[in-house]
Amino acid sequence: MKQIINGILLIGITIICQSTSCIKIRADYIIHNANIWTANQKALSAQAMAISADTILAIGSLKTVKAFKGPQTNMIDLNGQFVTPGFIDSHVHLITGGRSLLSVDLRDANTPKEFANRLSNFVKKTPANEWVLEGNWDHTLWGGELPHKDWIDTCTQQHPVALFRLDWHMLLANTAALNFAGIDKNTPNIEGGTIVKDEQGNLTGILKNNAMNLLLDKIPAMSVTQKEQAFKAAIDYFALNGVTSVHDVDGLNTPYESYSTAKKFIADKKLPVRIYAAKPLQEWKQLTDMRIQDENPQWLKTGCVKGFVDGSLGSHTAAFHTHYTDQADDKGFFIHQEKDLYQWIVEADKAGIHILVHAIGDRANHSLLNIYERVIKENGAKDRRFRIEHAQHLSADDLHRFNKLQVIASMQPYHAIDDGRWAENYIGAERIQTTYAFQSLLDAQATLAFGSDWAVAPASPIMGIYAAVTRRTLDGKNPNGWVPDQKIMVEQALLAYTRNAAYASFDEDLKGTLEKGKLADFVVLSKNLFAIDPKKINTVEVLQTYVGGKKVFDKEAR
């Protein structure tokens, strides 16, 4: 996109000298009368911005920016509207999220009857023998009882069904799906997973973590058309939420990878979001050759791997030092053994691959930090930017280690106002003090990069900022914030969705802030996030989304 030769900045085939007196390029358009928050610490605010093709030519006062106005330049008056850099979602499941938009939605089903009725109505419109997937149910809404295949078998006799809990660490399968996969009451448990049975030893239909693979590995792969439909639903959803870049952790070469589909959308010039695509950690050796294929790295690039230490809090599969408060014999478990995690990480790091690993419970986070520390010592100092995905429940003694080891806390603030409804019942009053510990991590000088974990949570940075700043739980029972000491400021939350998120993918020279020479990815919002009551941030709307200087969403045009 840009190159500097003899002190002259080359953008495309045009030349801009450092002095405006020799400008030979004119802006395609200039936005002005705007309230621009740039995320650039050297100049946090601006009134106007000049754009040529996909690049910011100038940003600052209207007087400065108008030097780039030519006879064909379109002047866009934003009437004082608030502008931010394009939001970067540091953790999404792109294809599966898109597929969830096209499937039955059980996220807010608050009774077993509602759960079954929604599914029944959906399958009536679904061709016989077609799989019904996703769902994203939340059993805490009806008191905590896990769903049972008996709830759905009668209405789904013509369809195999696998419905995820919203955290994707357990699923409910109907009898048709279990039979298809050959899972019965005699099927042995698998390491890092659980096949849930009743007191008589009969299957309930619930499979946790690695046990889910006994079924998922047998589901027919998505067709090219199905992938493209899910992909299109996802990228349109990102645009309307102001998301201009995502870090897709679904995994390259897995049934849900987005890489090949994204390449087709790039070729057709129909991709409105930039993608950083991960591969499963244990398959890191295959990534080296794939990086050569990154023909358009501004739009689509690889180079990272994503692994797992443990599961999730809601499924009781997050690994803790001490037992769950509500289950005295349960501390959760590791999905992979520590020795395997270490071996994969040390070898991938030595090969120059970026490491992202999921850790939820305090024991999982502690173990991962230990592995990272060991790998840093053995492989030597370099700019590696290790990430812990989620970093949800931390021991107080581990907070300072993020900065010490230069580990990025890749967190999803919406989870705090969701899990905050019931987390204390699972882990008690003491451990929740360092749960989603945004402020404590900032106090310890850690780098926070925010995302959504979509489709586990909405891919709405506005809702994520609202959650981080207010911590008002979804049930309305914490009006002053759940664990209010962990609330952070609006600017801190914005930085985690922009500048820091770009840093978390080695892209800080291209995006994350609005500066001359960077990509013109930005969002126009209905209200100034700094000027309104934080409790009203959740009412702010995305009016327009621009990616590479092109408007990809306009609320008025919908």
What distance, in Å, lies between the first and last C-alpha atoms of the chain? 32
Judge whether residue 251 has pLDDT over 80: no
Query: Across-strand partners of 276?
Result: 247, 301
Q: What residue has token string 């970026």?
A: 354
- Tell me the C-alpha distance between 153 and 118, whole Å: 14
User: 484-493, pLDDT tens digit by residue?
Assistant: 999 999 999 9
CA 157 to chain centre: 35
Mean pLDDT value of segment 375-388: 98
- Tell me the C-alpha distance between 417 and 221, whole Å: 35
- Tell me the C-alpha distance between 213 and 168, whole Å: 12
Give the range among 164-168, 232-236, 436-440, 553-557 with minimum mean pLDDT: 164-168
Q: At what angle do helices 461-470 and 490-497 cross, to 10 degrees?
A: 140
Which of 301, 274, 306 lies closest to 290, judged by CA? 301
Judge whether residue 359 has pLDDT over 70: yes
273-282 burial, b if ≥16 CB within 10 A, otherwise e? bbbbbbbbbe
464 versus 2: the higher-pLDDT residue is 464
Judge whether residue 263 has pLDDT over 50: yes
Judge whether residue 391 has pLDDT over 60: yes
Would you place residue 540 in the very low, low, confident or very high pLDDT band (cuts 50, 70, 90)? very high
Q: Where in the chain is the domain with CATH 3.20.20.140?
A: 309-488
Q: What residue has token string 């699972």?
A: 426
Q: Among the residues of 284-413, which ranges form H helices?
A: 287-290, 338-350, 362-379, 401-404
pLDDT of residue 447: 98
Phi first, then psi: give them for residue 534, nearest 5 degrees.
Answer: -55, -30
91 versus 328: the higher-pLDDT residue is 91
Measuring CA to CA, how many Å separate 544 from each of 387, 524, 534, 541? 31, 5, 22, 9
Judge whether residue 515 has pLDDT over 90: yes
Task: Round the average pLDDT of the chain to a whole number and report it.
Answer: 93
- Tell me the C-alpha distance between 343 and 304, whole Å: 16
pTM exceeds 0.85: yes
Helix (H, G, I), strand (E, B) or coil at 234: helix
User: 28-74, pLDDT tens digit by residue?
Assistant: 999 999 999 999 999 999 999 999 999 999 999 999 999 999 999 99
CATH of domain 2-80+549-557: 2.30.40.10
Judge whether residue 9 has pLDDT over 60: no
Q: Could you give the maximum distance between any two Cα atoms of the chain, in Å?
A: 84
**Percent of the residues in the chain that have a pLDDT greater than 90, as a whole number:** 87
User: 267-313, pLDDT tens digit by residue?
Assistant: 999 999 999 999 999 999 988 766 556 789 999 999 999 999 999 99
Q: Where in the chain is the domain with CATH 3.10.310.70?
A: 92-216
Q: Where in the chain is the domain with CATH 2.30.40.10?
A: 2-80+549-557
- Tell me the C-alpha distance between 345 and 213, whole Å: 23
Mean pLDDT value of segment 465-470: 98
Q: Domain 92-216 falls in which CATH fold?
A: Diaminopimelate Epimerase; Chain A, domain 1 (3.10.310)
**Percent of the residues in the chain that have a pLDDT greater than 70, as a whole number:** 94
Would you place residue 363 in the very low, low, confident or very high pLDDT band (cuts 50, 70, 90)? very high
pLDDT of residue 288: 74
Q: Of 3.30.70.20, 3.20.20.140, 3.40.50.1100, 3.40.50.720, which CATH number belongs to 309-488?
A: 3.20.20.140
Q: What residue has token string 């790091």?
A: 349
Mean pLDDT value of segment 263-270: 94
pLDDT of residue 43: 96
User: 38-51, pLDDT tens digit by residue?
Assistant: 999 999 999 999 99
